[in-house]
Amino acid sequence: MRVKKQKRHRKAVRFYSACFGFREPYKVLCDGTFIHHLLHHRLTPADDVISHLLGARALLFTTRSLPRPIFLLSSFCLLFVDRVLTSCDHEKRIGARACVESVIGATNSEHFFVATQDADMRKKFREVPGVPVIYGLRNSLFIEQPSTQQREYARSTEEKRLHMGESEYLKLYKSDLKGIITNDSTDTVTEGTQLTRNISTTKRMLGVAEKSKFKRKRA
């Protein structure tokens, strides 16, 4: 059972790496509910636990909107090693969920794994392309398998990359055709010029060689 679960997790990580450009070390954005779960079930040190889950080194992040008691508790228990807080764009303090959603945005350009126990947030991020979700169940951690929306988005973007549009194809064809015509017209001029240069260069080299070869010392 443990081997099957690990294979599913590795498969999910490979999917996001291949389709959305996730790279090691993986960045994991943890919210307050997930931190509370880690502490409650003694899943520490968290960076080692999550790195084992992902099969590669993980960097753990959280936001400045984390509730202060959890923030202090996580710091006191040395839950995060060299933790880096993500910078928030909003000026006023907002809720932790809204802050996480603002960091992820519409495209998850920073390639975060989102670690949360919030069911509504997990449901929301299933519909956002390229947002893998980590959650806990008792003393185990899981990676949600890519949703149908995420798989369809990855498939459509791959098809766009593979199939060039008709207008793009015509532009490329005209560009290549223009280059061929230009090369054909200039070849007749450049070939004669190049031939003359080659002959003169050869003569020069032979002249030097002959001069040095037949030169004799005077008595």
Over range 33-43, report the average pLDDT. Answer: 89
pLDDT at 22: 95
pLDDT at position 83? 54
Task: Tell me how far CA of residue 148 lies from CA of 32, 63, 127, 135, 187, in angstroms.
Answer: 27, 29, 9, 19, 56
What CATH superfamily classification does 2-162 receive? 5'-nuclease (3.40.50.1010)
Of 3-12, 91-100, 146-155, 167-176, which gets the smallest average pLDDT? 167-176
Which runs of consecutive H residues, i.e. helices, occur in 55-165?
68-76, 96-104, 119-126, 148-162
CA gap 86, 80 in Å, rounded: 14
Taking the whole predicted model, whether its pTM rises above 0.85 is answered as no
Over residues 122-141, mean pLDDT: 94
Tokens for 28, please give them: 């994991």
Confidence of residue 145 (pLDDT cuts 50, 70, 90): very high
Q: What is the pLDDT of residues 166-204, one digit of tens each?
A: 566 566 556 656 655 555 554 444 555 554 555 454 445
H helix or E strand, kind and range, residue 115:
strand 112-115
H/E element, 214? helix 166-214
List pLDDT tens digits, range 46-76.
Answer: 888 999 999 999 988 887 776 655 555 555 4
Of residues 218 and 115, the one with the higher pLDDT is: 115
Distance, CA of 127 to CA of 141 (rounded, Å):
21
Choice between 170 and 16, residue whose per-residue pLDDT is larger: 16
Of residues 105 and 178, which shows the higher confidence score?
105
Residue 161 pLDDT exceeds 80: no
CA distance 27 to 19: 17
Q: How far apart are CA 78 and CA 94, in angstroms?
A: 26
